[in-house]
Amino acid sequence: MKTLSITELQAQQNTATLVHVLPEDHFECEHLPGAVNACVYEMVFLAKVAELVPDKTSPVIVYGAGGDSLDAVTAAEKLTKVGYTNVTAFTGGIAEWRQNSLPLEGTHAEACLATPQGHYEIDTEISVVRWTGRNLFNHHQGTLKLASGHIEVQNGVLQSARFIIDMNSIACEDLVDTAYNAMLIRHLRDDDFFAVDRFPTAEFVCDRTDPLQSCTPGTPNYTLHGSMTLRGVSKPLSFPAVIAAADADHLTGQVQFELDRTQFGSHYGSGKLFAFLGKHVVNDHVHLHIKLHAKRA
- Is the per-residue pLDDT at 114 higher than 80? no
Q: Is the pLDDT of residue 111 over 60?
A: no
> Can you tell me the distance from the alpha carbon of 48 to that of 239, in angstroms, rounded to the nearest whole number?
41
pLDDT tier at 89 (50, 70, 90 boundaries)? very high
Q: Are residues 104 and 130 in the same domain?
A: no
pLDDT digits (tens, 9 = 90+) for 218-261: 899 999 999 999 999 999 999 999 999 877 789 999 999 999 99
Q: What's 78's domain CATH number?
A: 3.40.250.10
Domain boundary among 113, 148, 172: 113
**Which candidate, 32, 38, 22, places its Cα nearest to that of 98?**
32
Name the residue type at position 236: P
Digit-coded pLDDT (tens) for 65-86: 999 999 999 999 999 999 999 9
pLDDT band at 113 (very low <50, low <70, confident <90, very high): low
Q: d(Cα 199, Cα 55) in Å, to the nearest integer? A: 66
Q: Are 31 and 44 found together in one domain?
A: yes
What is the three-class DSSP state of 131?
strand
CA dihedral 129, 135, 138, 144 (to 10 degrees): -10
Q: How many helices (H) and strands (E) does the chain have?
A: 7, 14
**Displacement of CA 202 from its chain's centroid (Å):** 23
Distance CA 260, CA 252 (A): 26
Same domain, 240 and 193: yes
Looking at residue 144, its pLDDT comes to 98
Residues 101, 58 share a domain = yes
Q: What is the tens place of the pLDDT at every residue in 9-33?
A: 999 988 999 999 999 989 999 999 9
Q: What is the CATH number of the domain that holds 148?
A: 2.40.128.110
Look over the chain and give the mean of its residue pLDDT values, rounded to a whole number.
94
Per-residue CA distances from 85 to 4, 41, 42, 82, 92 (Å)? 16, 22, 22, 9, 21
Residues 18 and 164 grouped into a single domain: no
Residues 178 and 291 grouped into a single domain: yes
Q: Clarify whether residues 187 and 271 are in a common domain.
A: yes
Answer yes or no: do 122 and 195 share one domain: yes
Please tell me the predicted confidence (pLDDT) of residue 1. 84
| Structural domain boundaries, residue 58 | 2-113
Question: Listing from the earlier edge strand, what are the strands of the sheet with 17-20?
Answer: 2-3, 87-90, 60-63, 17-20, 36-37
190 with 274, same domain: the answer is yes
pLDDT at 91 (0 to 100): 96
Q: How many alpha carbons fall within 13 Å on the CB side of residue 224?
A: 28
Domain count along the chain:
2
The predicted model scores a pTM of: 0.80
Residue at a domain's end among 83, 113, 143: 113
Whether residue 55 is found in the same domain as residue 150: no
Of 113, 139, 155, the last residue of a domain is: 113
Query: Could you tell me which residues come within 8 angstroms of residue 166 by beta carbon, excluding any fewer than 6 positions away?
Result: 144, 145, 146, 147, 200, 201
Distance CA 294, CA 287 (A): 23
Residues 6+ apart with CB under 8 A from 17: 36, 52, 53, 58, 59, 60, 61
